[in-house]
Amino acid sequence: MNKRRVVVTGLGAVSSIGIGKDEFWKASVEGRSGVKEIDFFDASIFSSKIASYVSNFEPLDFIEKSVAKRTDRFVHLGLAATRLAIEDSGLKMDSLDKSRVGTIIGSGLGGVLFHEEQILAGYEKGVHRLNPHCVPRISPNAVSGQIAIMFNAQGPNMVISTACSSGNIAIGEAFRKIQYGEADICLTGGVEAPLTQFTFGAYDAMRVLSKRNHAPKEASRPFDKDRDGFVLGEGGGALILEELEFALKRGAKIYAELGGYSLNSGAYNMVIPKPEADDIAKVMLDSIRDASLEIGDIDYINAHGTSTLQNDRAESKAIKDIFKDKALDVNISSTKSMIGHTIAASGAFETIICCLAIENNIIPPTINYTTQDPECDLNYTPNIAVKKTVNNCITNSFGFGSSNSCLILKRFII
Amino acid sequence: MDRTEIQEKVIDIISEHRDMDRKNITMESSLRDDIGMDSFEAMEFIFYLEETYNIKIPDSDLGKLRVIKDIVDYLEIRFKEKV
């Protein structure tokens, strides 16, 4: 059968630099950082004491109290971002064939906040006195379940849990579901709320977090010579994907078209990126082919760009290996330079940025870029946004466990 | 703990967790039909009662607790037993 065309018609973001896609985009173009000192648990015991968090998020602005009370923060972020995306799309959910609306969301860790509270309560009161909500509140699929319940989405439903690539893969899988006719609309994206003392401690223990505690806003510096690790973050990004004819028939605003998608495993290591970077080079090449494009067609790469020594080096190598003499023609930037690494939400935020880059013909910068690393010698759109015609974008996400994925967003042309 | 205190506390818990106006909760209010709890929500409500009063409510007693009055009666008896 012929694969159907899929377009992006709605965007929703709950991030440390803005709530709503307009605020998020404006802050991205201006190069604002959402990283701060942690002030909601004792971080003095950790090597890293900074994070990217959404301090002005009021769940009750988006969710009924009775729902908010029985769901964890990651679900709050997902419900809020999805509501924003649906509003942005103009879709009237009640008028749709519910069985054709899918929900595919990325969530790496699920309800760690509640999980931690219950573990502590269990030790105090006994593990036989746990809250009956433990299972449905902690399970990562609570987010796809609750979104489907709130919006009565009765189509294909799942959570993708592949660590840092979860959001990217969720969007890719939603793309496939519509391409192959299993849904006409998908509510998709990614969420993560990992900022609990235990979970933060777990990341700190891996020694992957930046220790630039004296200058939080400068800590996330992808591709820069003085980068020393990533900044952990939280947030929720949502996108509405629609089958093209459906979108055109209802006069939907179209941000971009999903061009291509590929995913693979580096089969290398749970934490360390493969230094040869042939796995991530292949995932980029495969998705360019999936989009029926050539290397030279790519205007912008929204990098995985975590600000770790190894990822940024490997990613730069992979880009050079496949772009060859065109490697310097393409603009690269990392959204993580501003909002840190939001794990499952990162793929969603970064896809949103690609859609808005296409809409506005502007490429947001990689901030905190001051010194070139000889092994990262490409054009990372340093510090200032660039006006450029953006027709075709790549967005990369490489997750712990060697889980690699890549999406292509294209300018929609009828 | 006297009967009025128990009644007020039970209504407190329901109105807080169900986001309901206290005025709409009477002794005759049925958990399922008037307050609109499904079976899981009813179980959750029982959990909050257990936590509030530090008691264990066995499965075998759940069938008796259909309207608010049933719950208040039940708790009154349980407190008398404790003493």
Residues of A in contact with B50 (CB under 8 A): 129
B44 touches chain A (CB under 8 A): yes
Which single residue is written with the structure tokens 């007693």? B61
B6 backbone dihedrals φ, ψ, rounded to 5°: -60, -45
Residue of A nearest to B14 (CA): A66
Count of A-B CB contacts under 8 Å: 16
Asked, for residue A321, whether it belongs to a domain, the answer is yes
Distance in Å from the first CA to the final CA of chain A? 20
Do the Cβ atoms of A149 and A325 come closer than 8 Å?
no
Residue of A nearest to B56 (CA): A129
Select from A93, A91, A12 the least CA-distant residue to A249. A91
A19 backbone dihedrals φ, ψ, rounded to 5°: -110, 125
Q: What's the CA gap between A398 and A406, in Å, rounded? A: 8
Q: Which of A65, A129, A132 sits opposite B43 (nearest CB)?
A: A132
Global confidence as pTM: 0.95
Asked, for residue A254, whether it belongs to a domain, the answer is no
Beta-carbon contacts of A51 under 8 Å, excluding residues fewer than 6 positions away, are A35, A36, A38, A195, A200, A231, A232, A233, A234, A340
Domain that holds residue A277: 261-410
A244 and A284 both lie in a single domain:
no
Q: What's the CA gap between A131 and B40, in Å, rounded? A: 12
Q: Do B44 and A65 touch (CB under 8 A)?
A: no
- What is the reported pLDDT for B39? 87
Other CB atoms within 10 Å distance of the CB of residue B30? 13
A64 touches chain B (CB under 8 A): yes
Q: What are the catalytic residues of A?
A: 164, 304, 341
- What is the reported pLDDT for B19? 78
Q: Do A64 and B17 touch (CB under 8 A)?
A: no
B19 touches chain A (CB under 8 A): yes
Q: Please report the DSSP string for A23-80 in residue order.
A: HHHHHHHHT---EEE--SS--TTSS--EEE--TT--GGGTS-HHHHHTS-HHHHHHHH
Do the Cβ atoms of A141 and A344 come closer than 8 Å?
no
The tens digit of pLDDT for each residue in A169-195 reads 999 999 999 999 999 999 999 999 999
Asked whether residue B80 carries a pLDDT value surpassing 90, the answer given is no
A277 and A391 both lie in a single domain:
yes
Residues of A in contact with B18 (CB under 8 A): 66
- What is the reported pLDDT for A107? 98
- What is the reported pLDDT for B83? 67
The helix (run of H) or strand (run of E) holding residue A264 is strand A256-265
Residue of A nearest to B55 (CA): A129
B47 touches chain A (CB under 8 A): yes
Residues of A in contact with B43 (CB under 8 A): 132
Which single residue is written with the structure tokens 């990098």? A303
Residues of A in contact with B17 (CB under 8 A): 66, 69
Q: What is the residue type of A356?
A: L
Question: In chain A, which stretches have pLDDT less than 50?
Answer: none
Q: How near does any CA of chain B get to the CA of A71, in Å?
A: 13
Q: Which of B17, B18, B47 sits opposite A131 (nearest CB)?
A: B47
Residues of B in contact with A133 (CB under 8 A): 44
Asked, for residue A255, whether it belongs to a domain, the answer is no
Q: How near does any CA of chain B get to the CA of A65, in Å?
A: 7
Q: Which of A66, A131, A132 sits opposite B18 (nearest CB)?
A: A66
A131 touches chain B (CB under 8 A): yes
A152 and A194 both lie in a single domain:
yes
Hey, of A63, A70, A117, which one would you mutate to test binding to chain B, going by the most B CBs within 10 A of its CB? A70
A161 and A304 both lie in a single domain:
no
Domain that holds residue B55: 3-82
ipTM associated with this complex: 0.80
A345 and A295 both lie in a single domain:
yes
Beta-carbon contacts of A257 under 8 Å, excluding residues fewer than 6 positions away, are A5, A6, A7, A8, A244, A409, A410, A411, A412
CATH assignment at residue A333:
3.40.47.10
- What is the reported pLDDT for A129? 87
Q: How near does any CA of chain B get to the CA of A53, in Å?
A: 28
A311 and A340 both lie in a single domain:
yes
CATH assignment at residue B39:
1.10.1200.10
Q: Do A66 and B47 touch (CB under 8 A)?
A: no
Q: Which of B18, B19, B44 sits opposite A133 (nearest CB)?
A: B44
A42 and A104 both lie in a single domain:
yes
Choosing from A206, A222, A249, the residue where a domain stops is A249
A245 and A302 both lie in a single domain:
no
Choosing from A197, A219, A249, the residue where a domain stops is A249
Residues of B in contact with A65 (CB under 8 A): 19
Residue of A nearest to B19 (CA): A66
Q: Do A132 and B47 touch (CB under 8 A)?
A: yes
Asked, for residue A2, whether it belongs to a domain, the answer is no
A52 and A137 both lie in a single domain:
yes
Q: How many domains does chain B fold into?
A: 1
The helix (run of H) or strand (run of E) holding residue B52 is helix B39-53
Q: How many domains does chain A fold into?
A: 2
A343 backbone dihedrals φ, ψ, rounded to 5°: 50, -110
Return the ∠ at Cα A187 (arms to A181 and A189), rounded to 5°.
115
A83 and A173 both lie in a single domain:
yes
Q: What is the residue type of A277?
A: A
3-state class of A10 per DSSP?
A: strand
Residues of B in contact with A129 (CB under 8 A): 50-51
A269 and A234 both lie in a single domain:
no
A266 and A235 both lie in a single domain:
no
Residue of A nearest to B18 (CA): A66
Choosing from A249, A274, A293, the residue where a domain stops is A249
Q: Do B17 and A133 touch (CB under 8 A)?
A: no
- What is the reported pLDDT for A158? 98
Residues of A in contact with B40 (CB under 8 A): 132
